Structure 1
Amino acid sequence: MKFLAITLIVHAPDPVTGMAKTTGERFREVIGNALLAEELGFDGFGVGERHERPFISSSPPVVLSHLAALTSRIRLFTAVTTLSLLDPVRAYEDYATLDHLSAGRLELIIGKGNGTAQRELFQVTPEDQWDRNAEGYELFRRIWRQDKVTAAPRFRPALTDAEVWPRPLQRPIRVWHGSATSRESVDLAARYGDPLFSANVTHPIEPYAELVRHYRERWEAYGHDPARAVVGAGTAGYYAARTSQEAIAAYRPVFEGRLAFQKQLGLEPVFPTLEDFVERSSALIGSPQQVIEKVHRYHEEFGHTVLHLHADAGGLTDAQHRASLELFQSDIAPVLRRDIPDPPFDWAPVLGTPEPASPPADR
């Protein structure tokens, strides 16, 4: 099993102390968390893309390019690239550049994104967002693989023998499809033979498990080898301590602060108590053994081989956050790596491999 640390770069007051960082301090915190993830042995670090408050993750290529210069091993993910909002030609230029700057450590998780404010900002409607996402991915994918592209898309100007530079290092790049609530993204992933990444954050397991089952069904319907279907899954929170009592006591102020914030926004909480959150959500809170057992329970439903944890302290102290991640790598990750297989593809970066004359077959 592989493990990612992911941040959406939320810029909001600390849910426990109420203290707010400046924008610069928040970005420096992200940098520190990425360096910590590499130091501790995480396989990947992801940066989300959102274009509305309280997020400041509107430019993941810039953030990830900076991280590429400061790291050497960890793979760099987008989580997610919102192709429904972007010009796929411009998105290709950014990520092909980042592909070289990271020496082939880049992976994309794409999706339509969500949020009314960012749809309005880019004049995308609920009716056309899925079509935009599918069209954007198809064009992005072609540009990545083909030196010249002719296309007449619906949502951007036509291309005629267009050459888009730079040409990428990874030919092709691995693209995951983020899945939260809809079958459209699941079907798109299955159609192209791409891996799926289940959000698995907001609700109990059932709706996410149903989408993963649908992905595997569509994967086979499109004629792909069932053994090559790959699923990743998120978690709603993480904090491990030597005993469950320690973990619950430390995480309670974090949960209560977030619950108060949800109520302030007028949102009805899905999990009204910490005990319910620990029991029915995907959050991994407890002793190392409890965390291991819960990941196994989810694996029985998803068959996932990649797992993400939150990269941010999110109300924990820096010391608590580091100690919990260290405990994950010392006591939890080795067991899960032993028990649950890796995805059936190479995880190593390209590291400057010369570009082939013609693209190889899809991964």
Structure 2
Amino acid sequence: MRFLAITLIVHRPDPVTGQQKSTYERFREVVANAVLAEELGFDGFGVGERHERPFISSSPTVVLSHLAARTERIRLFTAVTTLALLDPVRAYEDYATLDHLSDGRLELIIGKGNGSAQRDLFQVTPEDQWDRNAESYEIFRKLWRQDRVTATPRFRPELVEAEVWPRPLQQPVRVWHGSATSKESVDLAARYGDPLFSANVTNPIEPYGELVDHYRERWTAYGHDPADIAIGAGTAGLFVAPTSQEAYAAYRPVFEGQLAFQASVGLEPVFPTLEDFVERSSALVGSPQQVVEKIHRYHERFGHQVVHVHADASGLSEQQHRDSLELFATEVAAPLRTALPDPPWGWGSPTNGANP
């Protein structure tokens, strides 16, 4: 099994102290967390893409380019690239450039994106967002594989023997499909034989499990070998401590701050108590053994080979955050690397055995 740390670069007051870092400080924190993730042996670091409050992750290619210069080994993910909002030609140019600057360490997780404000900003409607996502991906996929592309899309000008530069380093870059609530993204991933990344954050396990089941069914229906399936899954929170009592005590103020934020924006909590949150959500809060057992339980349902955890402190102190990540890396990730399988291509460049 492989492990990623990801950030959506949320920029709002600390849920415990109420203090808010400056934009400059928040970006410096993201860089420090990526460097720490590599130091601790994480396999990947992901940066989200959002174009609305309270996020400042509108330019993931810029952030990831900087992280490429500050790291050497860790693979760099988007989480997610909102292709429904983007011109696929421009997105291809940015990511092909980033692929070279990162020495071929780039992997994409694509999706339509969430939030009505960013849809309005890019004049995308709920009715056409899935069609835009699929069309943009199809063009993006061709650009990555072909020197000249001809296409007559609905949502951008046609391409006639178009040459787009630079050509990428990886042939091709690996693209995962982010899945939260809809079968459209799941079907798109299965159709092209691409890996799936389940959000697995907001709800209990079963809705996500049903989407994973649908992915497996469609994968086979499209004629792909089930042995080639790769699945990732997110987690709703992270705090690992030597004992469950210590973990609950440290994380309770964070959870209560999250509840207060949800109430302030009129959201009804899915998990009303910390105990319920730890029991029924994908949150990894507890002792190392408890967290290992929980990941095993989710693996039994999903059969996933990749897990992402939060890269941000999100209300924890800097020392609590670092201690938790260190304990996760040594006492959770280390045994699971051997106990649970890797993706079928192993890890690294898609030129080494991934489906084109």
Contact 1:172 1:362 in 2 (8 A): no
Q: Which residue of 2 aligns with 1:164?
A: 164
User: What are the residue-to-residue correspondences of 1:223-238 with 2, within 5 Å?
Assistant: 223-238=223-238
What residue is the counterpart of 2:136 in the other structure? 136
Q: What TM-score, normalized by structure 2, do the two folds share?
A: 0.98
Q: Give the aligned partner of residue 72 of structure 2.
A: 72
Question: Which residue in 2 is equivalent to 1:362?
Answer: 355
Aligned to 2:62, what secondary structure does the other structure show?
A: helix
Is the 1:197–1:233 Cα contact (8 Å) retained in structure 2?
A: yes
1:6-85 alignment to 2 at 5 Å? 6-85=6-85
CA RMSD in angstroms comes to 1.3
Change (3 A) 1:323 1:260: same
Identity in percent:
79
CA distance in 2, matches of 1:41, 1:361: 23
The Cα of 1:348 is off from its aligned counterpart by: 2.6
Letter of the structure 1 residue corresponding to residue 262 of structure 2: Q
What is the alpha-carbon distance in structure 1 between the residues aligned to residue 23 and residue 348 of structure 2? Answer: 33
For residues 108 and 338 of structure 2, what CA distance do their matches in structure 1 show?
26
Q: Distance in 1 between matches of 2:141 and 2:171?
A: 11
Counterpart of 2:216 in structure 1 is: 216
* AA matched with 2:250: A
Note if 1:271 corresponds to 2:271: yes
Please list the CA deviations of residues 184-205 of structure 1 after superposition, one character each: whole Å capped at 9, or x if unmatched: 0000000000000000000000
Structure 1 match to 2:175: 175
Relative to structure 1, the CA distance from residue 120 to residue 220 in structure 2 (aligned partners, 3 Å threshold; closer, same or farther) is same
- 1-structure distance, mates of 2:271, 2:206: 15
Q: SS where residue 85 of structure 2 aligns?
A: coil
Aligned length: 356
SS in 1 for 2:323: helix
Task: For 1:344, give the aligned amino acid.
Answer: P
2:53 is paired with a residue of what secondary structure? coil
C-alpha spacing 1:26/1:204, structure 2 compared with 1 (3 Å): same
> Does residue 153 of structure 2 align to residue 153 of structure 1?
yes
Classify the secondary structure of the residue corresponding to 1:153.
coil
Find the aligned partners of 1:106 and 1:156 in 2 and give their Cα distance. Answer: 26
8 Å contact from structure 2 (residues 45, 77) kept in 1: yes
Match of 1:285 in 2: 285
Structure 2 residue runs without a partner (length 5+) = none
> Matched residues in 2 for 1:333 and 1:99: separation?
27
Partner Cα separation in structure 1 for residue 79 and residue 333 of structure 2: 22
Please name the residue that 1:353 is paired with: none
Cα deviation, residue 335, structure 1:
1.3
Q: CA–CA distance in 2 between the matches of 1:159 and 1:23? A: 39
**Alignment deviations for residues 62-119 of structure 1 (CA, whole Å, 9 cap, x no partner):** 0000000110000000000000000000000000000000000000000000100000
Q: Match of 1:84, SS?
A: helix
Match of 2:310 in 1: 310
Equivalent-residue separation in structure 1 for 2:330 and 2:82 (angstroms): 35
Contact 2:289–2:332 under 8 Å retained in 1: yes
Q: Deviations over 1:268-307 (max 9, x none)?
A: 0000000100000000000000000000000000000000
Indicate conservation of the 8 Å contact 2:345/2:354, yes or no. no
Q: 1: CA distance between counterparts of 2:334 and 2:257?
A: 32
Could you say what secondary structure the match of 2:55 adopts? coil
- Aligned amino acid, residue 150 of structure 2: T
Shift of 1:347: 1.7
Give CA deviations for 1:105-163 in whole Å, capped at 9, x if unaligned.
00000000010000000000000000000000000000000000011100000011100
Unaligned stretches of 5+ residues in structure 1 = 351-357
Match of 1:189 in 2: 189
Deviation at 1:330, TM superposition (A): 1.1
Per the TM alignment, residue 349 of structure 1 is displaced from its structure 2 partner at its CA by 4.4
The answer to whether the 8 Å contact 2:240/2:247 transfers is yes
CA distance in 2, matches of 1:250, 1:72: 33
Query: Given that residues 75 and 349 in structure 1 are in contact (C-alpha distance below 8 angstroms), is that contact kept between their aligned partners in structure 2?
Result: no
| Deviation (angstroms), 1:361 | 7.8
After the TM superposition, which segments of 4 or more aligned residues of structure 1 sit over 6 Å from their partners? none
Instruction: Tell me if the contact between 1:240 and 1:324 (Cα under 8 Å) persists in the aligned partners.
Output: yes
Aligned to 1:245: 245
Shift of 1:334: 1.4
Query: What is the TM-score when the length of structure 1 is the normalising length?
Result: 0.97
